[in-house]
Amino acid sequence: MQAILALEDGRIFRGKSFGARAECSGEVVFNTSLTGYQEIFTDPSYAGQIVVLTNPHIGNYGTTPSDAEASRPYIEGLVTREFSPMSSNWRSTQVADEYLERYGVPVIGEIDTRAVVRHLRANGVMRGVIASGESLDVDALVATARAIKKMDGTDLASGVSTKVAYEWDANEPKNQTGDSLLTENEGGAKQMHVVAYDFGIKENILRMLTRENCRVTVVPAKTSAADVMAMKPDGVFFSNGPGDPEPLEYAVENVRQLQGKAPIFGICLGHQIFGLALGGKTYKLKFGHHGGNHPIMNHQTGKVEITAQNHNFNVDPDSLPADVERTHTNLNDQTLAGLKHKTDPMFSVQYHPEASPGPHDSHYLFKDFRKMMEEFKK
């Protein structure tokens, strides 16, 4: 069956339908990762977005529950060059086509994804629609794309957050190959209690915190700072998540209430929330940063880290006050990629140090958080 990707500017791409035979809409972005497509499918930060994968062959190694970053896919739709109807991997439990169909995610394949990406790079991300059928009204699809609510000014994080607090199962700290993640901290170092705000948290973040001998309590996005402090945390974590950080005034206020009272660490959306709480401003990038190959300069060590990224908004470094230090810079476009407060125990990064399936250059940040909690207790 034929499928169409219609963009709000009237550009049309025709291909074949896979996954769910349904219509979807969202902001169209592209991801340059060479592997890890299931992790991309299930990343809650992709809520409200149709994802174009630049790697031409998708689905060839199937899907497995141990590769999921959440209980279900969060992408609205998928755009690929070749979408494999079969899988060839001993770990696969379900082919990608059936997996996405099961969760109602439409896929358009057999199109020139290079052309789509070049169009988005030149014109910026835009709203789009994927539809399948033999007789589709192209003009109507373009009109639908133009009517989609923009991501700017929209709180998507509270929609993907957990509704109730829960304790992460620290008894099963496994990585994606099933290997134990226990470290030397398990040998005698005191377990730390981390309260993690869920704005769309990825499971590998929870695994990495557990690896540093942390007991993790995950709480809804709108949990008050007072309720968090009542849990007597050794540290508080602000997670990744979808959408614009500016509408998340409740989260910004919680950072201000927690600042100086406990060590706090933020990733991606959490980083942007920190920037706003410290007096800075955020802005939307032309086509975002999505992929597993972004070079980041760590100004504290002088080393370059290859990182995984997934965000559409960024903190304006020039808007930050003098008591905030810029710790990391994206070498692709010189945007701010990390900050820390000069006196209070808080730091954040704009990328994913827990990157799954990789790269692993930035795992040290979880150890830095552990060290910050230990020093704060002295």
- pLDDT at res. 170: 53
Residue-wise pLDDT for 247-280, tens only, equals 999 999 999 999 999 999 999 999 999 999 999 9
Residue 214's pLDDT band (boundaries 50, 70, 90)? very high
- Which one is catalytic: 39, 268, 305, 311? 268
| H helix intervals, 259-347 | 269-277
pLDDT tens-digit readout, 115-151:
999 999 999 999 999 999 888 999 999 999 999 999 9
For the chain, what percent of residues have pLDDT higher than 90? 92
Q: What is the pLDDT of residue 188?
A: 60
pLDDT at 378: 82
Q: What residues does CATH 3.40.50.880 cover in the chain?
A: 157-377
Whether pLDDT at 40 is above 70: yes
Token pair for residue 56?
């031409």
Beta-bridged to residue 366, according to DSSP, are none
Per-residue pLDDT tens for 317-343?
A: 999 999 999 999 999 999 999 999 999
pLDDT per residue as tens digits for the range 276-307: 999 999 999 999 999 999 999 999 999 999 99
Flag whether pLDDT at 171 surpasses 90: no
pLDDT category of residue 185 using cuts at 50, 70 and 90: very low
**Is there a catalytic annotation at residue 268?**
yes
CB atoms within 10 A of CB 1: 9
Contact 145, 236 (CB under 8 A): no
Burial state string for 286-321 with b = 16 or more CB within 10 A and e = fewer than 16: ebbbbbbebebbbeeeeeebbbbbbbbbbbebebbe
| Closest by Cα among 46, 21, 38 to 101 | 21
| Category of 335 on φ-ψ map: left (φ > 0), alpha (ψ -120 to 50) or beta | beta
Residue 63, pLDDT above cutoff 70? yes
Give catalytic status of residue 299 as yes or no.
no
The CATH code that applies to domain 2-147 is: 3.50.30.20
**Count of residues for the chain?**
378
Active site (annotated) includes residue 352: yes
- pLDDT value at 184 more than 70: no
Every domain range in the chain assigned CATH 3.50.30.20: 2-147
Mean pLDDT check: name the lowest of 116-120, 164-168, 355-359. 355-359
Select 157-377's CATH number: 3.30.1360.20, 3.40.50.150, 3.30.70.1560, 3.40.50.880: 3.40.50.880
Q: Please, where are the H alpha helices in the chain? A: 37-41, 96-102, 113-123, 138-147, 157-160, 203-211, 225-230, 249-258, 269-277, 364-377
The per-residue b/e assignment along 353-362, b for 16 or more CB within 10 angstroms, e otherwise, is bbbbbebebb
